[in-house]
Amino acid sequence: MPLLSVIVPVFNESKTIRQILEKISLVPVDKEMIVVDDGSTDGTDKILRDMRLDNMKVIHHSANRGKGAAFLTGLSNATGEFVIIQDGDLEYDPQEYLKLIEEIKKVGVDAVVGARFMKDYRGLLIPQLGNRFLTGLLNLLYGAKLNDCLSCYKLFRRETLLSLGITSCGFEVDTEILAKALKKKLKLSQVPISYAPRSYAEGKKIRIKDGIRYAINIIKNRFIN
């Protein structure tokens, strides 16, 4: 059993997928990569079929089903002690897996969340404001003190993730994971991570409609689920 399962949900990332997977492969930790191509139409699927990296499994969805659906496919195939999600672009640095793993082992918490909103944060204004609103909403409703509820880097023990009963198929999977973890009173820690945001012209996919779905998901998981 590997120490870490890296789940990579990917949709139309032909410009960056090869580079990010090569970066993941260089991280000095016992790991497996589970790449889920979520119905890409830009050639990403062909790149993945041609790539050969150690301990990499590629799964193809026949149609686009959403980041959450791709994550759940990856989770069902994961075997590692710990699980982390990696986006298919270059906004996050895989070498920072090491600091999250160190934190979860040292502090003995249930999960570690990467925090992007440090003093040197640089990012697009609208997504940043939206993230701060959603993080504030989640903190208010769940009595938390999270820095960044939409951080891609959330390191969980695999069995803990499976116990949460995640069902979201879209981007809102990020908030569902944290909402359900907080509702279960799991112990979370945070560590600063770096972030190199891309522009919408470069392929950034989050839109205002996704922010609305995030908010609904946060509220729904607090009062309904």
Tens-digit pLDDT profile for residues 21-69: 999 999 999 999 999 999 999 999 999 999 999 999 999 999 999 999 9
Closest CA to 168 of 213, 223, 113, 212: 213
Q: What is the pLDDT of residues 160-189, one digit of tens each?
A: 999 999 999 999 999 999 999 999 999 999
Closest CA to 205 of 72, 55, 11, 47: 11
Of all residues in the chain, the percent with pLDDT exceeding 70 is: 92
| Average pLDDT rounded to a whole number, residues 195-201 | 71
Distance of CA 99 to the CA centre of its chain: 16
Using CA atoms, how far apart are residues 168 and 130, in angstroms rounded to an integer?
20
Using CA atoms, how far apart are residues 205 and 33, in angstroms rounded to an integer?
23
Cβ atoms within 10 Å of 222's Cβ, excluding its own: 16
Min mean pLDDT across 84-93, 105-114, 137-146, 216-225 is at 216-225
Using CA atoms, how far apart are residues 221 and 225, in angstroms rounded to an integer?
5
pTM of the model: 0.92
Domain boundaries along the sequence of the chain:
4-223
Which tokens belong to 31? 């790991």
Please report, as a single letter, which amino acid is at residue 113: V
SS3 label, residue 137:
helix
Say whether pLDDT at 77 is over 90. yes
Q: In the chain, where do the E strands start and end?
A: 4-10, 31-38, 56-61, 82-85, 111-115, 154-157, 188-192
Using CA atoms, how far apart are residues 154 and 174, in angstroms rounded to an integer?
9
Per the listing, tokens 């208010």 go with 140
Q: Could you please state the CATH topology (level 3) that the domain comprising 4-223 is classified under.
A: Spore Coat Polysaccharide Biosynthesis Protein SpsA; Chain A (3.90.550)
Which tokens belong to 129? 């404001």
Which tokens belong to 118? 């440090």
Task: Give the CA count within 13 Å in the CB-facing half-sphere of 34.
Answer: 20
Residue 132 host element (H or E)? helix 125-142
Q: What is the pLDDT of residues 129-161, one digit of tens each?
A: 888 899 999 999 999 999 999 999 999 999 999
Using CA atoms, how far apart are residues 104 and 188, in angstroms rounded to an integer?
9
Min mean pLDDT across 4-8, 140-144, 200-204, 206-210 is at 200-204
- CA angle, residues 66, 75, 136, in degrees to nearest 5: 65
Q: Answer for the pair 193, 97: CB distance below 8 angstroms, yes or no.
A: no
